[in-house]
Amino acid sequence: MKRSILIPLKVLTWLACLAPLARLVWGAVTNNLGPDPTADITFCTGSTALNLLTISLAITPVRKLIPQLSWLIKFRRLLGLFAFFYGTLHLFTYIALYAAFSVPYMIDDVTKRKFIFIGVAAWLLLVPLALTSTNWAIRKMGGKNWNRLHKLVYLAVICGVIHYWWQVKPGVLAPMSITIIVAVLLISRPMLDLWQKRRAAALKQA
């Protein structure tokens, strides 16, 4: 893709990714975050992190299905870092507004409340991915090792979905849509790899 088109697309991506944060800031300034501002901040940051992580996972399958969209790979790192950014805001919301920076409270919560435990696990899985998201890290680690490490994103998104399910009340099906999307994306990856191998083999024989 031409640089003249890529730059405006990246600017739009930045604006789209920052929109949820802007909404929260505007809501705080205007005192319009609903009857439970803490819950609103928690849900917005958590859902945005999970949505952006899911979109970043969708890039590879889309590229394999539609080679003309191979330029989408240039946005995967940006989306992944924004997912980590919102995940960190989500965690900090819990630390500051729910736990009030109390370490004993947080330790007790992590050990006794499974949705807190799995949520922290999801964030911890994203930490090494965010720290190694630079070209320098790829060169130092080598492409194969870097790819192996970044497969943790699959486990992180699964933990994120479980965190969502365990957080809502029994019978609430709000997490169902993102669960289906994540499941399709994860299942599609090995299927698309197999399809590509068979296609390449068929072309060689032709």
Q: Where are the domains of the chain?
A: 3-205
pTM equals 0.93
Does the pLDDT at position 141 exceed 90? yes
101 three-state secondary structure: coil
Enter the DSSP assignment of 143.
H
Question: How high is the pLDDT of residue 184?
Answer: 96
Sequence-distant (6+) residues with CB within 8 A of 132 are 138, 141, 146, 149, 150
Q: What percent of the chain has pLDDT over 70?
A: 98
**Residue 165 to residue 31: CA distance in whole angstroms:** 29
Q: What percent of the chain has pLDDT over 90?
A: 80
Question: How high is the pLDDT of residue 202?
Answer: 74
Question: How high is the pLDDT of residue 159?
Answer: 98
Evaluate whether 1 touches 71 at the Cβ level (below 8 Å).
Answer: yes
Sequence-distant (6+) residues with CB within 8 A of 199 are none
Q: What is the pLDDT of residues 93-105, one digit of tens each?
A: 999 999 999 999 9
Question: How high is the pLDDT of residue 206?
Answer: 61
Does the pLDDT at position 1 exceed 70? no
Q: What is the pLDDT of residues 5-33, one digit of tens each?
A: 888 999 999 999 999 999 999 999 998 99
**Residue 72 to residue 65: CA distance in whole angstroms:** 12
Does the pLDDT at position 3 exceed 80? no
User: What is the chain's mean pLDDT, rounded?
Assistant: 93
